[in-house]
């Protein structure tokens, strides 16, 4: 930051006047200087946008603004060519927060892949994160001009995004038989430069790419639920899959359950299950299987797929609320994406703060598809026949210079990601509840108290954590109500530092009474609809090395929605997906006691049972350790 001050001369002070007035010896009048004109202003973190942000009028749009406390590029076109030593003053509430010298147009950052410069007459500077605050404005002064009028800058929340990589290491995959370094795969082989590029891609104030607290999900075999009219089956090698998508779907379902169990469904965290599997039919040292797809439930915060950055970008885009851009553009009911065929034709130029380069919406000249795309009618062309990139929600690969690991989102989709991040709850050690939510009316993060809606039909206290970063055991199970051979099992439990959400111990009468599913004596139990979403018929019993035990109701099963005592149709049909159910749950890890046995107890209509009936219930599945 350049801090400027005025300096005086060293004369005696009487050269211009004798202090007696008069025309001959008086001080000549000082000519008023012209105020400097800012003829154009743009700011950028991920895209070049007007100072007040970008807005759209189509369905499901969101404004794109700067995020607070993140470096921002400022571009200014000044109305005078002879300006000398221009300086930007950052103002807030009438005070000057800082002064920064502008860099001349000749030193404007370059464009990706030696592309066309963004401009030839733009002065620039990087506004440091500490000055990017709601309520700021910028004005420019110069040696030979008076100060300009201020330009107000719209700045949103200071947000955080935690991108958590959870490798699914399957079928005995090792460093030796995959050619990978599985330790590096905990963050999808991202070195520091790749992580900086990732952080520059997503529109949060801070982006942290990390290994999921679970570490890795390791399984020598996976149960594939009933699909396409076929029964559940067990695979221990990729070549045994009837369809490669089956494994991706299953991994996504388990990752979703793990995300839920860790209290992260409403939080500013995304979990990506990066699948690393081997094909034992391959007769060579490297048996790594190609995982050629991905899947996510839109807005869930969870995705799964291959361990490439294209799949990561695309599936986590879904996880943060995005659909397929081409389909959204062509939506017959109402257009949900503004740019033709899911491309970025019409989107603002991008800017990558990690590489300090502009990114043209057109494909970079050094991109692998730069020439090929011109004869492929899936790409939009400009008047000179040059291809526009596709939004990553249509195609997330091969439109960039090879040094870029991550494609360029459209400004429109970036805005929607920004909205998703800002709308999530974040962990906050300064909050009385350990959680904070963004209060747009106050433009501030405030203490957030989890709320239980719909009588806990979809979880207690929004499935947000009551305890954070504590020792837990994560237990994952899948169960076949149709008794399909091999389709019921516990996966290996994992002990780690995680979170605990509120669950129900059915041996504690006070807890069990909360989930009684009907009004009693004119009073509604606190969690009355907890069992209305598919029932409460199974209880997990965990036995530890010190002889202690824990019981927990497993929410959901095979009942009809809203009818907790009526089985749904198809739940005993081995060919029907409704006959398979998976769960994940975190339980406290205390006193260094190790898990010795996991048991799934058959406790139908658990709210009717006594503690004795629960503890003596039939065991339908067990695993010892």
Q: Which residues are catalytic?
A: 315
- The C-alpha atoms of residue 395 and residue 184 are separated, in whole angstroms, by 26
Residue 46 DSSP class: S
- The C-alpha atoms of residue 428 and residue 196 are separated, in whole angstroms, by 24
CB 258 within 8 A of CB 271: yes
- The C-alpha atoms of residue 496 and residue 261 are separated, in whole angstroms, by 13
Distances (CA, A) of 335 to 61, 338, 479: 11, 7, 41
Beta carbons within 10 angstroms of residue 380's beta carbon: 21
Residue 413 DSSP class: H
Q: In the beta sheet, which residues pair with residue 351? A: 358
The continuous run of DSSP H or E covering 351 comes out as: strand 350-352
- The pair of structure tokens assigned to 129 is 């994160």
- The C-alpha atoms of residue 136 and residue 514 are separated, in whole angstroms, by 50
Q: Can you say whether the dihedral through the CA atoms of 513, 514, 516, 521 is positive or negative?
A: positive
| 189 appears as a binding residue in the annotation | no
- The pair of structure tokens assigned to 595 is 């898990």
CB 65 within 8 A of CB 135: no
| Angle (nearest 5°) at CA 331 between 406 and 359 | 25
Count the alpha carbons within 13 Å of 451 in the hemisphere toward its beta carbon.
7
Residue 47 DSSP class: B
The continuous run of DSSP H or E covering 512 comes out as: helix 509-512
Spatial strand order of the sheet with 87-92 comes to: 95-101, 87-92, 136-141, 151-152
Distances (CA, A) of 195 to 198, 307, 355, 359: 5, 15, 12, 18
- The C-alpha atoms of residue 287 and residue 285 are separated, in whole angstroms, by 6
| 238 appears as a binding residue in the annotation | no
CA 178 to chain centre: 28
- The pair of structure tokens assigned to 326 is 């081409």
- Beta strands (DSSP E) in 520-617 are 538-544, 549-554, 559-560, 563-567, 580-588, 595-602
Count the alpha carbons within 13 Å of 330 in the hemisphere toward its beta carbon.
8
The residue among 560, 568, 563, 551 whose CA lies nearest residue 603 is 551
* Strand, coil or helix: 489: strand
The continuous run of DSSP H or E covering 72 comes out as: strand 72-78
CB 472 within 8 A of CB 497: yes
The residue among 329, 82, 277, 42 whose CA lies nearest residue 170 is 277
The residue among 296, 213, 219, 211 whose CA lies nearest residue 478 is 219
- The pair of structure tokens assigned to 456 is 């806990």
* Strand, coil or helix: 614: helix
- The C-alpha atoms of residue 243 and residue 225 are separated, in whole angstroms, by 12
| 259 appears as a binding residue in the annotation | no
> Which amino acids are annotated as binding site, given as ranges?
314, 318, 324
> Which amino acids are annotated as binding site for Zn(2+), given as ranges?
314, 318, 324
């Amino acid at each position: 930051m350049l801090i400027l001050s005025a300096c005086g001369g060293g004369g005696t002070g009487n050269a211009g006047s004798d202090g007696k007035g008069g025309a001959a010896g008086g001080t000549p009048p000082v000519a008023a200087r012209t105020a400097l004109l800012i003829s154009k202003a743009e700011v950028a973190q991920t895209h070049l946008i007007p100072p007040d942000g970008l807005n759209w009028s189509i369905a499901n749009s969101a404004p794109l603004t700067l995020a607070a406390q993140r470096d921002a590029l400022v571009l200014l076109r000044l109305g005078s060519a002879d300006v000398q030593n221009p300086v930007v003053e950052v103002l807030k509430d009438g005070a000057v927060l800082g002064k920064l010298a502008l860099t001349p147009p000749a030193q404007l950052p370059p464009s990706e892949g030696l592309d066309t410069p963004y401009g030839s007459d733009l002065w620039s500077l990087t506004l440091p994160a500490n000055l990017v605050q709601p309520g700021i404005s910028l004005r420019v002064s110069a040696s030979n001009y008076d100060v300009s009028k201020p330009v107000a800058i719209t700045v949103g929340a200071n947000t955080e995004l935690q991108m958590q990589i959870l490798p699914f290491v399957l079928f005995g995959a090792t460093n030796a038989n995959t050619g990978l370094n599985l330790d590096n795969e905990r963050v999808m082989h991202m070195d520091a430069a790749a992580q900086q590029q990732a952080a520059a891609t997503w529109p949060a104030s801070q982006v942290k790419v990390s290994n999921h607290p679970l570490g890795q999900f390791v399984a020598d075999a996976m149960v594939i639920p009933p699909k396409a009219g076929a029964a559940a089956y067990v695979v221990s090698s990729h070549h045994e899959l009837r369809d490669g998508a089956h494994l991706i779907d299953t991994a996504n379902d388990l990752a979703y359950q793990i995300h839920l169990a860790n209290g992260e469904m409403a939080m500013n965290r995304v979990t990506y299950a990066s699948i690393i599997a081997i094909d034992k039919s391959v007769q060579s040292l490297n048996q790594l299987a190609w995982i050629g797809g991905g899947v996510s439930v839109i807005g869930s915060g969870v995705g799964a797929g291959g361990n490439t950055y294209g799949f990561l970008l695309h599936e986590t885009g879904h996880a943060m609320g995005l659909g397929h851009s081409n389909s959204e553009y062509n939506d017959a009911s109402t257009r949900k994406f503004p740019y033709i065929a899911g491309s970025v034709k019409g989107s603002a130029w991008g800017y990558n703060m990690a590489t300090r380069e502009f990114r043209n919406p057109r494909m970079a000249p050094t991109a692998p598809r730069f020439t090929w795309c011109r004869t492929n009618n899936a790409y939009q062309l400009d008047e000179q026949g040059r291809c526009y990139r596709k939004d990553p929600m249509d195609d997330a690969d091969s439109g960039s210079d090879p040094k870029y690991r991550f494609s360029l989102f459209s400004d429109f989709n970036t805005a929607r990601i920004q909205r998703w991040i800002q709308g999530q709850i974040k962990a906050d050690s300064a909050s009385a509840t350990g959680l904070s939510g963004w209060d747009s009316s106050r433009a501030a993060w405030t203490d957030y108290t989890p709320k239980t809606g719909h009588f806990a039909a979809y979880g207690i206290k929004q499935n947000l954590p009551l305890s954070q970063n504590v020792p837990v055991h994560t237990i994952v199970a899948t169960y076949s109500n149709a008794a399909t051979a091999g389709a019921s099992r516990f996966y290996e439990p994992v002990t780690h530092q995680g979170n605990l959400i509120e669950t129900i111990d059915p041996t504690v009468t006070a807890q069990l009474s909360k989930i009684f599913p009907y009004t009693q004596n004119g009073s509604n139990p606190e969690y009355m609809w907890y069992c209305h979403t598919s029932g409460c018929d199974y209880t997990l019993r965990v036995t530890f090395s010190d002889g202690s035990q824990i019981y927990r109701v497993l929410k959901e099963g095979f009942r009809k929605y809203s009818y907790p005592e009526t089985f749904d149709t198809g739940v005993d049909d081995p060919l029907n997906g409704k006959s398979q159910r998976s769960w994940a749950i975190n339980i406290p890890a205390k006193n260094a006691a190790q898990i010795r046995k996991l048991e799934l107890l058959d406790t139908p209509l658990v709210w009717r049972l006594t503690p004795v009936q629960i503890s003596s219930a039939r065991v339908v599945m067990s695993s010892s350790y």
